[in-house]
Structure 1
């Protein structure tokens, strides 16, 4: 089976940072959430996949092809980021005209439908749009090129919850129609809990957790109990621990195993993706 994106032994070194991804597969037709604290390597990874930076070692295949050798593969990727490259003083109509020329599958009907849905006036200047309207326009542009993959780098970071929710709903609607693959980098993990199928957690340049979102959430558990239950042996079953004068709470990656150790002497709570990210980060 051809993966949407496949990374092997990717290395990129900067002065104070090293990206080192041994293996990463992004499943075709699913939403993969890419999470990690700022500075973990999310944007560097996306730039490498999109052939925007040269990496030191490794191989990246997009739809089974090396993107640097295949122009058609580049046409198969749409992008929505925190900051986009559109000129602030350009009219939306002019941006659309100049960009659409480069895409053989450009869908004018879809573009018009989305612009009308968002109630965006094409005669406006891009820089005059609100943050929400900018993202809506960028998403309309990205979808209208009829991509097979949409790369998203913190697309909803500056949006209010209502606009964010509308953005995600539209994305999921179009994804189901077109069998899109979405690679979604964000620190707003609550968005991914609503829509992601898979999760990749990167920290300090390395992938430290990967799998189906529901499975990750099911396997992990926050454990709360009395301090006396902690010793060198029980600590081994916890990824990291927060302790105070009253007791402790910690995260386990194996709820079943933890129950065999702690039994009913502790409270078990289902974590959020943000909880999981915080505990793994604290461990390091």
Structure 2
């Protein structure tokens, strides 16, 4: 199997925060969703793996190339969309497109114009007249116009309306259907990742709590709602975390299909990524 990303023991230390020994391997042709609360290390991870900020690691390969020895080869096959790209506000999309034709060897100006039209972006208006959502749409037009192999997005769908977000998700699905195309997206909008992610990485306070295939998370975890008194009937080995509410208790369980056979009169719903975040960060362990 070809890997788009291999990270081993990546660590970045600040005075008040440490991204601590992150390791995982992402197959090519997949979509990875990175989740975690504000300050969990999502942006730090992306910036370190791109070499924007220095870090310590045992291994860091992108598209089969070592970041230290082949950074330029890697960058030519990457498209990166940040929350704020930082283009000069007096540039127009066409001016940016002409500039990028000298940056990317595979730049396709006709495709870029096509995306501008598709996204309803004026080609000759200055960026200072663009809304936040329009600027984000421009970033996607740029990203899809130079034949990248690996698309990396950090909170890139913030500020987009639900209709355009859905269109972007469809574009990402189409992009990743080609075997050599991979997507990494860090987002607070976990419902978007529920729709498209093949793998999920969950960062909490600089630590990687899990890196799992999305299907495995869906098949393994479930939410059981019960009375507080019912907790004593559950095996602690089956309970990941629980949260007491005003009138009942919500329980994050694993082996949900097996438990559904035991407690046939109780509904055990699949856990969303938002559920997992809440339980892992605010839940209690059953003793």
Give me the TM-score of the superposition, normalised by structure 2. 0.90
**Structure 1 unaligned regions, length at least 5:** none
Measure, in 2, the Cα distance between the counterparts of 1:179 and 1:114: 22
Q: Which secondary structure does the structure 2 equivalent of 1:69 belong to?
A: coil
1:229-257 Cα offsets, whole Å, 9 max, x none, are 22497344322212246432110132245
Q: CA RMSD of the aligned region, Å? A: 2.1
Q: Retained in 1: the 8 A contact 2:260–2:267?
A: no
Deviation sequence 1:248-279 (CA, Å, 0-9, x none): 2110132245457x634643122211111111
Match of 2:4 in 1: 4
Which runs of no fewer than 5 residues in structure 2 stay unpaired?
none
TM superposition shift of 1:125: 0.9
- Residue deviations 1:34-90, cap 9 Å, x none? 111111111011111111010033321001112232211111110112111212222
CA deviation map 1:67-119 (0-9, x unaligned): 23221111111011211121222222222222221111112222122122223
In structure 2, the CA distance between the partners of 1:278 and 1:130, relative to structure 1 (3 Å rule), is same
Aligned match of 1:210: 211
Comparing 241-250 and 145-154, the one that deviates more? 241-250
170-179 vs 4-13, which moves further: 170-179
Number of the residue aligned with 2:95: 94
Match of 1:50 in 2: 50
Q: CA deviation at 1:11?
A: 0.7
Corresponding residue for residue 121 of structure 2:
120
Check 1:21–1:110 CA distance in 2 against 1; reply closer, same or farther (3 A cut): farther
- The answer as to 2:35 corresponding to 1:35 is yes
Query: How many residues align structurally?
Result: 283
Whichever structure has more helix as a proportion of its residues is 1
2:144 is paired with a residue whose SS is: helix
8 Å Cα contact 2:29-2:178 kept in structure 1: no
Counterpart of 1:68 in 2: which secondary structure? coil
TM-score by length of 1: 0.91
